Structure 1
Amino acid sequence: MLSRAAENLFWLGRYMERAESTARIISMGQRMAMLPGTPGRSEWTSVMQTTGAEMPEDEMASELDVVKRLILDPEGPSSIQACLLRARDSGRAVRTGLTQEMWESLNEDWRYLESLDELTARSQLSKVLEWVRKKSAYFRGAVDTAMLRNEGYYFLRLGSSIERADMTLRLLNVKYFLLLPETEVVGGGRDHHQWMSVLHAVSGLRSYHYHYGSDYAPWNIADFLLLNKIFPRSLAFCYSQIDLCLSHMETDHGGSHKCQKTARQELERLNRIDISGIFNDGLHEFINEEIARTSRISQEVSDAYHF
């Protein structure tokens, strides 16, 4: 496969996953902002900080700022509209490598966000976020049910797995930022609902309940999102998929690369550590280290396959 084709498939996976993950982060911020006694602007500020969006001049974001910069901005690195436009461009560049269903999923209603002004998007925020999640699910279903399991598939899955790992970490960082100003409420009623919002954001509430029962302790939720081996959005599961994709590409190309060694070492580390050790050393510090490591693997993949 040409490096250019591999790059487009890799970033197609990343952009589609990023669009959905950004929608999930906004949805979580929306839930948290509606909690009684919650200073709404701090929730939206944490959402903007976590996604790396450009902040307003006063460093305090509103819901309208989030709509403008994380949904409708055609240029922002984490903006949903920008991600979907870039995903479509990447898909068009490798059109012959996509199935008809995949291409249709990228093209169907793709100008929907362009038709919205800021006030309309804000008034219909839940509807807009649900549209993004459904569009992403449609694309993912098209990939899983029709795409050949060849190197193109593994480059696309690799990109989406790296992006999903990164965004799960950033979702947890939203929660961390929200607790900073009021650590005395950790474990309280509002804290409990905020952690529940994290589970809602990853569509993990029922899966969590099946695994942990009704014990919604923060360390259990962090364990579920970081170290659970069978939940599809956990960090450990994402790294198992990264390792799997890189192993298949090693077989296809007859050689290993630094990125595969890094991914395997990280997977072994996640299988070895426990959540108590993470909390003792600092959850925020662990998350930041993992975000940096995930970014490093992405760069190593680009170096290994020349894009």
Structure 2
Amino acid sequence: MARAPDSETPNAQATNAQAVIAAALLELLERDQPCATATITASSGSIPNEVGAQIVVDARGERVAGTVGGGEIEFRTIAECKAAIAEGKHRSFRYHLTDEDAGGIGMMCGGRADIFVHVHKAAPQLVLVGAGHINLELARLMRPLGFSVTVIDDREAWANVESYPGAVVLNAQPAEGYESVRWRDDTYVVIGTRDRDLPALRALVGRRCCYIGVVASKRKALTLLAHLERDGVDIDAIAEQLYAPVGLATGGRTPADIALSIAAEIQMLRHGGSLAHLRVEPREHARLRERRSLKSG
């Protein structure tokens, strides 16, 4: 009979460490908590851990799982992770280990570690209130752009997983469906119902979200706002989030055209873009030709 090993092999230890990292990361993201993983990508000299070692850090700057070696290198790594999460951007840094950093454990000074910090955050959330033609087209556009999609509509014939693959489908009235949504600062809402726009909009007041779009004409949008004010709703409380009518003036009129204009508006706001064209202007072509002409002359 083969004798069981007294200890795990290095490969088994590495596999277990990766599993712990993955589980911790998944748990944080399932709770919609941003976090970061830091990985030693290269090293030279003596360092307290090896290339590939990882640590998971949450937004508070707390170590959740893993290690890059403890001591000063870990303290610096955790600080870099916390700063990267706050900024929302990946980063790299190089850490030079000294005798003092080594803590008198006999390692040679001069060790160096290159560490990459990867920021992880939950996908931005799109809540579609109403499962009509426009929101159906919008869901198709937004999922490839990295959004998680939730659809709220009490009509099962319209709101179902066959029509909205990969989405969370809630067959409920808007206010009831909202109770199942994890509202966040990166939640985008688009209201496009057959006859529930006013209660859907009213029930959103006070909820965490960055964007409330309403599929409507200007006349209908003004009517909705007037009704809200009549009901005692503080319009100023949602003014910064409210986009009614929703979308950019791209000119199309089909459901797909309108969905594209909404997607463009959301992406512009999400990434801090503008309405400016990216093309090279004709006058710039003319200046370039003039410079070339002068050089050749």
TM-score range normalised by the length of the shorter chain: under 0.3
The answer to which structure, 1 or 2, has the higher relative contact order (CA under 8 A, 6+ apart) is 1
| Structure with greater strand percent | 2
- Structure showing greater Rg: 2
